[in-house]
Chain A
Amino acid sequence: MIYMLNNIEEIVRKLKKDTKDSDDIIYREKYINRKKIYIIYNEPLTSSDKISDFVVRSLNKIKSITGLGLYKKIKNSISNFKVTEIEDYQDLCFYLHKGFTILLIENETKAIALETKANLNRSISPSTTEDTVRGAKDSFVEDIQTNLGLIKKRIKTNDLWIDKMNIGKYTDTSIGILYINGIVKEDLVNEVKKRLSKINISGVINSGVIKNLIVDEKVKFPTAQTTERPDVVSDALLQGKIAIVVDNSPYVIIIPALLQDFFKTMEDEYGKDTNVSFTRILKFLAFMISIMTPAIYISLVTYNQEMIPTDLLVSFAVQRDGVPFPAFVEALMLIISFEILRESDLRTPTTTGSALSIVGALILGDAAVNAGIVSQIMIIIVAITSISSLPFTELEFINTLRIYRLLFMVGAVFMGMIGVVVVFIIFIIRICSIESFGKPYLMPLVPINLSGLKNSLIKLPAKLLTRRPEYLSNNTIKQRSTDDEE
């Protein structure tokens, strides 16, 4: 049944019925020249100041209708910039739930929607999960318009294209797909749009929901990056990547994400090349330590004792003496305890967090060793392993390392060093077979890509980084030195 907007009493009745007489929706009647006008708004979403200032005051000024009809008169005299015409009931509901104020006018086929949104956003604050020493301090907030503004502030060009779409049956969340026309590869944009259009979901609460629905589910390593820093997003866009901004989520998705992206931070762009290279090699070491140390230790003390110097072996043997569990069980116990500790630390408020870490450190560390349940060396191994997984900002990445760490340990406990090597081969095959939106995950190393390698594990001086990697963009010239005749 189609509801004609001129029958305003019926519209109001239907709205009341559909919202089950919600107290939040306010209906105010007003007469201008004996014509009835309904002012309808959703109270929690609207600002009463704006309604009184821009809507009611403007309406009060209208004394008489001369010539034009009341509808046009109202539309012209309202001192509000964002005025929308509404032609049917669906539109009316949509705008009502977006925080607009609806003016229903008797005997008119169109209604008017006026923007009177309340400010429900927090202000822009420094990033909490991706801190930098010398980078920009702002970070995304929940409002999509603010977030887009933070990016547009940095990239001032017509070529920054935004494709908008709404996803979610009930949440109707706006999503913006950002890319720079002329840098990005068309097929990547199409692929992302294709995957997004396939999503049919009741609600999108956070960008993580979108991310999980568009990446390949089989792989353990994250193939999309999330960040709350506008400068990271802007940099990614300039490289030829795509950003997906989701309303109500301070985390923006960057696509595609390769393994090397998790080793890089925005600060790398500001640092000197040698220092950056050093940090990246350090991170790579941490990556290897994080997945392999417990496994190597287990294979050394249970299978391959001949591989280490005698003094070290004696030291291991002395510390292991009297520990009632096999090395694998000991390692598993400590790693699980650490993970529980980390998880509880993440969830507890900061006030109890410090108490928790003291208890965790004391009980797990000192007391367990004194009680002879675990050896000191195992505490050291688990500590170095856990610390090594923390230089990475992406939480998904850290959690993936955890899974591979356990796999390596299983390999070690069954076959010692050979088992570690077997799992390593499986690991390498696995990681080589991953693709992020059609891009090989180990790019630029496998397959080899020279312009990409210049800024991967080792960063060359900035003057030499004149080209974008071909796998991200067709427009590869990034920077031109003045004496370059190209």
Chain B
Amino acid sequence: MMKNKILVLFVIFLFTGCYNYREINSLSITTAIGIDKKDDNYLLTIQVVNTQKVGSDTNSTGEQSKFITYETKGETIQEALRKIVLESPRRLYINHLQLIVIGEDLAKEGISQIFDFFMRNPEARKQSQIVVAKESKAEDVLKILTPLETISSKNIVDSISSDSKYLGVSENNTFEYQVKTYLNDRQDIVMSTVKVVGSVDKGENTESLKDVSSDAKVVLQGLAVFKKDKLVGYLTEDESMSANLVNKKVKDTLVNIECDKNKYITIELMKPKVDISPIQDKLQMKIEVNGNGNIKEIDCDYDLNDIKVIQEIEKKTEEKIKQNINSVLNKTINEYKTDIFGFADTIYKSNPKYYKTIKDEWYSKNLENLQIDTKVDFTLKGKGNIITVIPDEEN
């Protein structure tokens, strides 16, 4: 009996042969992969944590970078990824992948192969962010050093997540969500974009971190709009905010309204409720936005105790929001001819039979003919800590 027990324990532990044993120091922790296309080859930029440097305080001089970037080429993404061994001494470990950056050129050509590769790979983390490098190459984005977060890809990811909390310009969704939306076929995808501002060559140098303002920076920009798997255009920051508002992704954002010539009131719009409902059997859509907010900043000499003034501000805000929404609707539907708000999906969900009849001509005819009625209802909840307006000197 005892012999059997020992035998069972031996089989359990020893016959597995330490499958998948890998010491942490034999891995290259990959935080970001940038993908470009160059002459029919994929050009991969891989950002790996430099474990000899980050976090350890002993003899840190700041001379060495917190991360290392490798570049490889290959006809497929997998081939390029494997070829990294020629350069890197350690195995690439992409379970902790945080960010996938797609170069603009490749995004215009189509990104379905990227979706396929990362979904197929069992090691790749599906929770990573995917962004488009606006007007630049993915390679450049990943090479820039960032001052606040030690690893630049983390800088971008954190930036996106705080933006989605306080501003609402970018798309804060996982890679998995994007693929799901793409495969859904009734909605087009949008992606956050990053852009390199300044000189790339200087930004790659650790010296640039010592300056008060870095020479080159990576900043978030408005959304990139896709039609199917191809990039068709970009939205401005204001448009992106409105797009996110309609897509119910805004938690907190700002609306500027002009109260006088070149004088503005900034309203903080908090937790807006958006309702998109189709009209039965008609190519009509109703968008209702319900929101409330506070005055954050005011430049005009308004008497905020007057209810009429308040009502006027509310009205102006409503108009402004409505105008923004209409402009982004116009741009995506009429100019880019994409359905990033998933109107097709909304119709399908509320009336699948009707959707079947309009499905075939959706992009060619029906989307443009869709009548969208926008209604905004805004209530001013607070005026901040002071009630009166601090006047200009002239008054």
Contact = CB atoms under 8 A, between A and B. Distances in A.
B23 interface: yes
B148 to A, nearest CB: 14
A302, A327, A413: most-surrounded residue (chain B CB, <10 A): A302
A305 B97 CA distance: 12
Interface in A401-419: 410-411, 413-416, 419
15 contacts: A305-B22, A310-B29, A310-B31, A310-B154, A314-B51, A315-B55, A317-B29, A318-B54, A318-B55, A320-B24, A320-B51, A326-B23, A410-B13, A413-B18, A414-B16
B14 interface: yes
B125 interface: yes
B51 A303 contact: no
Nearest to A321: B51
A483 interface: no
Contacts of A313: 24, 29, 96
B170 interface: no
Interface of B: 12-14, 16, 18-25, 27, 29, 31, 49, 51-56, 93, 95-96, 98, 125, 151, 154
A305 B94 CA distance: 11
B319 to A, nearest CB: 45
A41 B359 CA distance: 116
A301 interface: yes
Please list the 5 inter-chain residue pairs (A to B) with the smallest Cβ-Cβ separation, ordered nearest first: A306-B95, A301-B24, A317-B51, A414-B13, A310-B96
Given A301-B23, A302-B23, A327-B23, A419 B56 contact: no
A364 interface: no
Contact of B13 (A310, A317, A323, A415): A415
A305 B13 CA distance: 20
A315 B55 CA distance: 7
A316 interface: yes
Contact of A317 (B16, B24, B95): B24
A322 B23 CA distance: 12
Nearest to B97: A310
B27 A314 contact: no
A305 B96 contact: yes
A19 B55 CA distance: 76
Nearest to A308: B96
Contact of B56 (A306, A319, A414, A416): A319
B96 A306 contact: yes
Contacts of B21: 302-303, 416
Contacts of B93: 305
Contact of B25 (A314, A315, A317, A411): A317
Contacts of B125: 306
B27 A317 contact: yes
Contacts of B12: 415, 422
A318 B16 CA distance: 29
A302 B24 contact: yes
Given A314-B49, A314-B54, A422-B12, A321 B25 contact: yes
A315, A318, A411: most-surrounded residue (chain B CB, <10 A): A318
Interface string A99-143: 000000000000000000000000000000000000000000000
A321 B12 CA distance: 31
Contacts of B22: 302-303, 305
B51 A318 contact: yes
Given A314-B29, A317-B29, A318-B52, A415 B23 contact: no
A303 B16 CA distance: 13
Contacts of A414: 13-14, 16, 18
A320 B22 CA distance: 13
Interface size class of A (residues with CB under 8 A): 20 to 34
A75 B156 CA distance: 103
B29, B52, B125: most-surrounded residue (chain A CB, <10 A): B29
Main secondary structure of the interface of A (DSSP, over half): helix
Interface string A176-201: 00000000000000000000000000
Contacts of B25: 317, 320-323
Contacts of A411: 13
A454 to B, nearest CB: 37
B98 A310 contact: yes
Given A314-B49, A314-B55, A303 B96 contact: no
Contacts of B54: 314, 318
Nearest to A414: B13
A428 to B, nearest CB: 16
Contacts of A310: 29, 31, 96, 98, 154
Contacts of A326: 23
A321 B54 CA distance: 11
A302 to B, nearest CB: 6
Contacts of A413: 18
Contacts of A416: 20-21
B29 to A, nearest CB: 6
Contacts of B24: 301-302, 305, 313, 316-317, 320, 327
Contact of B27 (A305, A323, A422): A305
Given A302-B22, A310-B98, A314-B51, 6 more contacts: A310-B31, A313-B24, A313-B29, A314-B151, A320-B51, A415-B16
Interface string A366-399: 0000000000000000000000000000000000
A317 B49 contact: yes
Interface string A286-310: 0000000000000001110110001
A416 to B, nearest CB: 7
Nearest to B16: A415
A419 B15 CA distance: 12
Interface string A50-70: 000000000000000000000
B49 A305 contact: no
A196 B21 CA distance: 51
Contacts of A323: 25
Contacts of A321: 25, 51-52
A410 B9 CA distance: 11
A303 B18 CA distance: 9
A410 B22 CA distance: 16
A323 B23 CA distance: 11
A319 B22 CA distance: 16
Contacts of B49: 314, 317
B68 to A, nearest CB: 13
Contacts of A305: 22, 24, 27, 93, 95-96
A318 B57 CA distance: 11
Contacts of A322: 25, 52
A416 B23 CA distance: 11
Nearest to A325: B23
Nearest to A307: B95
Contacts of A419: 13
B13 A318 contact: no
A413 B20 CA distance: 11
Nearest to B17: A414
Nearest to B13: A414
A413 B19 CA distance: 10
A356 to B, nearest CB: 28
A327 B51 CA distance: 17
A379 to B, nearest CB: 15
B51 to A, nearest CB: 4
A27 B51 CA distance: 85
Nearest to B94: A306
B23 to A, nearest CB: 6
A217 B55 CA distance: 50
